[in-house]
Amino acid sequence: MRRWLFPLLLGLVLAFVGYHVALAQFPRVLMGLATHRIAKTTGYNAMFAAPLATDKARAIVRPSPDLAYSSCPFDLSNGPVLVDVAPVPAPYWSLSIFNSRTDVAYVRNNIDAGNQPIRVAIARPGQPVPDGMTAVRVDGTTGIALIRILVPDRAQFGAIDAARKASSCKALS
Amino acid sequence: MKPWIRYAICAVLGLALGAGAAIQHVRTGVLGASRAIGPWTSGSDFGTARAGAYTRAVVSLRGLLALPAHEARYYNAAVDSAGEALDGRCRYRVSGGTIPAKWWSLTLYDHPGYLVANQAGRFSIASAAVPNSAKWEVIVAPAEQAGLWLPTGRIDRFELTLRAYLPDDGGIGNMTRDQLPSIVKEGC
């Protein structure tokens, strides 16, 4: 039995390590899966205007049925990505940018922006961004830029949907 | 058995057990379990770099792409005000008053966090639908109800999420038990 003492101690130490490594990797893995799932629809660095969430929605957990979501899964491997958000006829809209660890790198809503368009360049540290452009620096190469638009009444969705399609996401080259 | 085989067996088992325990811990985690207020749980560090590894993991599973507290606060309830699990075959009265935020909504989810199919095609009640924002009631029940009704779809277990956008205090504090709605079971 004594021959197992040190191997068991090693197992205990590695169980502790395994627990913390798995915990740390969990968000990155789930964020990666979500980013990939959205990118399957329109590809990376493109804006996808999702329909209003129903019980059929499975792309993201806990979708809000009161919000219209437009999402851009971005990949900064080949340089920064430009996001333009067009104002929409809704009482609330916002742009939030999440890195691969699920941290919010940037959030701005229509009230902050005075209901004016929002333009930002998502870039990794060190990637050059044109002068005068707001740079949002993120760790890692992938993530999601998400536009949320409050739809107070589903009857208003048509007008909001038409207006939000002026928002875009594209590689800055 | 050669010594290296004993080490290899224990190393592999240790790593697998540790990783499995982490996954199980996160799967059984509750969104915002760090702060319980009556039946509601919440957290103020969602989506921020200061979120701990466990919070970050649970949020990624149960509320991916959550906004930081200054933009929105999320309060989740898996139990009623008496502490009993929310049952989709029962009828509940959710009573609230002024929610200190620009706008809010109350949404019903199944345990994995998806909207629940129902004949009315209704998944939430938003503040714009409430006639008197200072005193309001929503009936959460499987069958259609008079007034504001949120269908349960008769599922075994459901959860309610209260989203409070642009909180009056900038998200620095939690709502009190008096500010959050009560959830009272009226029958099954």
The gap from C-alpha A112 to its chain's centroid, in whole angstroms, comes to 20
The size of chain B, in residues, is 188
Nearest CB to A94; choose among B71, B105, B153? B71
Degrees, nearest 5: CA angle B46-B33-A26: 60
pTM of the model as a whole: 0.88
Q: How far is A173 from chain B (nearest CA, A)?
A: 28
Q: How far is Cα A53 from Cα B115, in angstroms, rounded to an integer?
A: 8
| Paired residues of B164 in beta bridges | B73, B104
What pLDDT score was predicted for residue A137? 97
B104, B75 in Cβ contact below 8 A? no
Interface of B with A in 146-185 (CB under 8 A): 153, 161, 163, 165-166
User: What is the residue whose two structure tokens read 């009272």?
Assistant: B184
- In this prediction, residues A116-120 reach a mean pLDDT of 97
SS3 B77: strand
A140 at the B interface (CB within 8 A)? Answer: no
Nearest CB to B123; choose among A12, A34, A65? A65
Degrees, nearest 5: CA angle A154-A160-A161: 95
Q: How far is Cα A119 from Cα A133, in angstroms, rounded to an integer?
A: 8
Residues in chain A closer than 8 A to B166 (CB atoms) = 92, 109, 111
Q: How far is Cα B73 from Cα B171, in angstroms, rounded to an integer?
A: 7
**Burial grade of A11 (CB within 10 A; 0-12, 13-18, 19 or more):** buried
Residuewise pLDDT in 10s, chain B (188 residues): 888 999 999 999 999 999 898 888 888 776 655 678 999 998 777 767 777 888 888 888 877 888 999 999 999 999 999 999 999 999 999 999 999 999 999 999 998 899 999 999 999 999 999 999 999 999 999 999 999 999 999 999 999 999 999 999 998 888 899 999 999 999 99
Query: What's the Cα-to-Cα distance from A138 to each of A122, A123, B9, rounded to whole Å?
Result: 7, 6, 40
Q: How far is Cα B159 from Cα B113, in angstroms, rounded to an integer?
A: 8
What pLDDT score was predicted for residue B135? 96
Q: How far is Cα B174 from Cα B135, in angstroms, rounded to an integer?
A: 20
- In this prediction, residues A132-143 reach a mean pLDDT of 94
Chain segment B133-162, per-residue pLDDT in tens: 999 999 999 999 999 999 999 999 999 999
Query: Chain A: residue nearest B130 by CA?
Result: A152
Chain segment B86-101, per-residue pLDDT in tens: 999 999 999 999 999 9
Q: How far is A153 from chain B (nearest CA, A)?
A: 9
